[in-house]
């Protein structure tokens, strides 16, 4: 007696492959915007940390001088920025009276009246590796000598 055994073909049909591709496409379409949002939030945290550290340095400067804040980052008496042994700010880079945040994604400037009675620290995104991920809803981030932070929803 002759037994005719059919061999089943191994592999995937085109329809099965297309279903898998569609599932992967849907997952990517959901996950990528969430990933971008997390990247923006982590870079914003970098800016907020730098702003808080610099505001703290300004308060220390005010206490030491008992009358005014530093008017520039290059002020030689601004303890913490000129001290190579400073704690907490080792990753901030001073360039042309501007500070770059630790990751280099934000540039921080200092402004205020020339008498040093108050200050405003402002962080704006740099172009380094940002691409289309600019944090337009939270630009610029600011903190003032009286502790006002803006925009409120970003802090």
**What share of the chain has pLDDT > 90, as a percent?**
28
In a domain, 108, yes or no: yes
Q: Which residue has the tokens 């008992």?
A: 66
Which residue range(s) make up the domain with 54? 17-154
Q: Region 117-136: what's the mean pLDDT? A: 76
Is the distance from CB of 129 to CB of 105 less than 8 angstroms? yes
Q: Please give the model's pTM, rounded to 2 decimal places.
A: 0.74
In a domain, 9, yes or no: no
Other beta carbons within 10 angstroms of residue 63's beta carbon come to: 8
In a domain, 82, yes or no: yes
Mean pLDDT of the chain: 81
In a domain, 93, yes or no: yes
In a domain, 150, yes or no: yes
Task: Name which of 18-32, 37-51, 124-138 the model is least confident about.
Answer: 124-138
Give the dihedral of Cα atoms 87, 89, 94, 99; nearest 10 deg: -150
Q: In DSSP terms, which residues pair with 121 in a beta bridge?
A: 110, 143
Q: In DSSP terms, which residues pair with 141 in a beta bridge?
A: 123
In a domain, 10, yes or no: no
Largest Cα span, the chain: 109
Q: What is the DSSP letter of 93?
A: E
pLDDT of 42 over the 80 cut = yes
Query: What is the band of 6 on the pLDDT scale with cuts at 50, 70, 90?
Result: low
In a domain, 68, yes or no: yes
Task: Return d(Cα 148, Cα 84) in angstroms, integer.
Answer: 30
Task: Return d(Cα 90, Cα 57) in angstroms, integer.
Answer: 13
If one counts the domains in the chain, the total is 1
Query: What is the band of 96 on the pLDDT scale with cuts at 50, 70, 90?
Result: confident
In a domain, 106, yes or no: yes
């Amino acid at each position: 007696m002759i037994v005719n055994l059919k061999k089943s073909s191994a592999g995937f049909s085109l329809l099965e492959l297309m279903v898998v591709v569609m599932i992967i496409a849907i997952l990517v379409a959901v996950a990528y915007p969430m990933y971008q949002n997390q990247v923006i939030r982590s870079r914003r945290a970098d800016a907020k940390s730098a702003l808080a550290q610099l505001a703290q340095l300004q308060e220390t400067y005010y206490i030491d001088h008992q009358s005014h804040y530093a008017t520039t980052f290059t002020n030689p008496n601004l303890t913490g920025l000129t001290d190579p042994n400073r704690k907490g700010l080792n990753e901030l880079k001073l360039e042309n009276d501007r500070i770059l945040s630790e990751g280099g994604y934000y540039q921080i400037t200092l402004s205020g009246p020339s008498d040093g009675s108050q200050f405003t620290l402002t962080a704006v995104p740099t172009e380094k590796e940002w691409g289309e991920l600019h944090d337009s809803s939270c630009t610029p981030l600011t903190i003032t000598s009286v502790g006002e932070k803006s925009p409120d929803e970003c802090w």
